[in-house]
Structure 1
Amino acid sequence: MSAADAVRRAVGAVTDPELRRPLADLDMLRDIAVTGSVAQVGIALTIVGCPASDRISRDVRAAALSVDGVDEVDLELGVMTPAERAALTDKLRDGRAPREMPFGPDSLTRIIAVTSGKGGVGKSTVTANLAVALAERGLSVGLIDADVHGFSIPALLGLTDADGAAPQPTRIDDLMLPPVAHGVKTISIGMFLRRGDADGPVGAVAWRGPMLHRTVQQFLTDVFFGDLDVLLLDMPPGTGDVAISVGQLLPHADVLVVTTPQAAASDVAVRSGLVARQTGQRVIGVVENMAAMAMPDGTVLDLFGSGGGAAVAAALSTDDEDVPLVASIPLSPALRQDADAGVPAVLAHPGDAASAAIAQVADHIARTPRGLTGRPLPMRPA
């Protein structure tokens, strides 16, 4: 192998941090030569002002310098032509037509909608931490913040800046590349909103049914998640427009119901599971949040009562389908503080009782993969 071939192989193995594929597979390599101990390397970025250019430059230089005999790298960054970008987006779609959803019934991605009957039960906090816990187990995880009116996932994952604004996805023609936080590919309407003025809040969304449906549909069709093991949807509370849209778009999704022990929350949580089941979705379990907390003196604080999670699981179970209470997550100051700081508690405080309970949910999901009985497997001859 010539020195230039060795450099091409090393540089081609560098992974694009947004597309999560090697540069060679993305046809981003250009002229590569070696003169003496100097490697001349050409790379074509996907778009002008690519936010990953600094990372790609560092990784490419390091890869080229790892080749024996190369002591210096002359890196030239260019940009793909429109035709090259079009070819790339066709490759990323893997033969699908534009605007075609990759998460249909034949997809091997397990889709889990995390629902609740009412707000304020900690559903988004549970979802964000669950996504990170699944990624920590080596799974490829995507997360859609489907709570368009009450979006909070970017802040919970630490994607927002000091002003509360989240990074916008990179666009390659009509594809959007979701930002990645703690190994989780994430999309939210909050990434498209900005503050109205220097001191004002990040913009709010005041949309009705058709716009909400279109937003969820675009998240599923226009965002390039790549190959995922699990796609989580943080659903808005209740059984409104988004729940109906997700039921129509993803009738094969599994549903995880979050409640608190309080009867006022658990009674309503049952309804979200029933509506999901009416659209063909399968309820795979119940998570009880804000459960009793063990105090330092050995006493137990059950601020919101007890038994709500078990009651929801029992109400949603049928003769044909048992719905388990997957975990009870205790009240936890660490979970709340880490959420406010934008750091998932499963990473910041893995030994906390709440983190351990969320890890239990992740283990349950990882142990029970999506059933493939009666589903065609997408196979093509090599």
Structure 2
Amino acid sequence: MEVNGTESTIDKDQITEFEIYFYVIFGLIGIIFNGLVLFIGLRHVDTHDKPRQIIVMNMTLSDLLACLIYISTRPVLSRAPRVMCYPYYILIFISQFSSCLHLLWLNLDKFIYIKYPLNYYLIVTRRRVLSLCWVTWAVLTALGAVSYSTMDILHPCDGININHYIYLCIVVMYVVIISASFAISAVIYCIATNSRRMEPSARSQLFKRLFFVFSSTTWTFVTILPYRMLYLSSLMMRDWIGRKFSYFFIVLTNLFLYFIVIGIVMNPLVTILTQRLYREKVFYYFKWIVKLCPFIKSSPPSIHENTTVSYSGARRLLSVASALPPTSKVTSPANRKRFNSCIEVPVRDENGRKKYEALRVHHGHFNEVQF
């Protein structure tokens, strides 16, 4: 929701029944997925090894705050007490700006990574990233408190006045930050594609690492920037030309406001789909929940369960089971033993020729079989 006005205008929102269901449903979905991503990040991510994940977690925290404070409470905003209006709008300002700024920091991180790969871990350290995030939250809190100190409450929280020029600066800052993130992401893409000193396999691996930044930046650019640009255009037309938007552009602006909500809710899904750690942990917790459900029957464990294998070359493994002798009879579970040795398995090399390689099987539990 955007609220603004001059000293002689009131911007009061009229929420429909469709919007009530829209905000409630998407607010709950956003809380669940953002909370899940934040939990996985805090529980499983090693920020000493990957300090950039601190920025990802702060982005997720910003979206979680937006879902908790803005999206899910939007239908009952008109019933909120007047004393809650000032902190309410400050928190909305902080959460939305924080998400955009941390996306900018993430793009700068990837730019340093691809431009100065040898000095990356000397430049980007965990302490510096933590300091940057703390400073970001502190500056946004102070900026929000100052910006909304001019706010006049004319209706319980959904009708307020704020200094027109201050709000114009806020919208311009949104546009500049999002555009800068997209520009840096485009520069990173150009550097990665035009590098001739990189092997094809290394380039493919690099693009996999950059895919999250590209997808997050593009998604934010598509879902947030159109509304900000349309709103900025309406402010400039009203101030400089003295004309207002036509009905078509007013409807289009309100339509893109829904895209902002959808973008905030879908940001954690982008994180889950593009980052392997979060994707694997989501599947892990999903299986854990399924096991807790008594009405869901799980399949019996395989003979190769809990087996970890490793082989020397990056070749496609044809079959692990083919390397083991055929089972004729399985003894009782009491006779299970730890299997730790090397076996010969069929693989294919780069030219597609079949050969056998030694494969190490360790820390696996196999049933003792009789041949």
TM-score normalised by length of structure 2:
0.21
Structure with the larger helix share: 2
TM-score normalised by length of structure 1:
0.20
Greater Rg over alpha carbons, structure: 2
Structure with the larger strand share: 1
